[in-house]
């Protein structure tokens, strides 16, 4: 199942934090406290989440409108808070699951 978690509400931030804790992820770059302190806060912060019975794939980042001149376009820019634009997943995640994640993101 693919989901976009919008981290602009306390409820969604709690859901994200519980997911990070349940995965026993100790990477500070994925923690909300890090993003709040070092990356301009939580405005426009989302997390792409793909889960099934075998894996959880996460990719938090900032979704921003692309502005050309003074015009807001219908395009978006996505950057991660940790500089590396890529998802977090376990070693045993299959290539099929990774492909499903990226196909879902592209929709």
Q: Which of 7, 93, 73 is nearest to 102 (CA)?
A: 93
What is the tens place of the pLDDT at every residue in 20-69? 888 777 777 788 887 877 666 777 889 999 999 888 899 988 888 899 99
Examine the pLDDT at 99 and tell me if it is beyond 80: yes
CB of 45 closer than 8 Å to CB of 8: yes
Instruction: Tell me the C-alpha distance between 30 and 27, whole Å.
Output: 6
> Could you give the CA distance from residue 103 to residue 57 in angstroms, rounded to a whole number?
13
Give me the percent of the chain exceeding a pLDDT of 90.
33
Supply the pLDDT for residue 25: 76
What is d(CA 8, CA 30) in angstroms, rounded to the nearest whole number? 16
- Mean residue pLDDT of the chain comes to 86
């Amino acid at each position: 199942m693919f989901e976009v978690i919008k981290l602009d509400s306390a409820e969604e931030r709690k859901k994200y934090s519980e997911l990070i804790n349940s995965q026993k992820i100790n990477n500070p770059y994925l923690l909300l406290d890090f993003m709040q302190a070092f990356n301009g806060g939580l405005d426009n912060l989302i997390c792409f989440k793909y889960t099934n019975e075998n894996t959880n794939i996460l990719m938090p980042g900032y979704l921003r409108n692309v502005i050309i001149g003074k015009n807001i376009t219908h395009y978006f820019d996505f950057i991660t808070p940790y500089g590396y634009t890529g998802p977090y997943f376990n070693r045993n995640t299959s290539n099929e699951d990774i492909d499903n994640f990226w196909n879902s993101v592209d929709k």
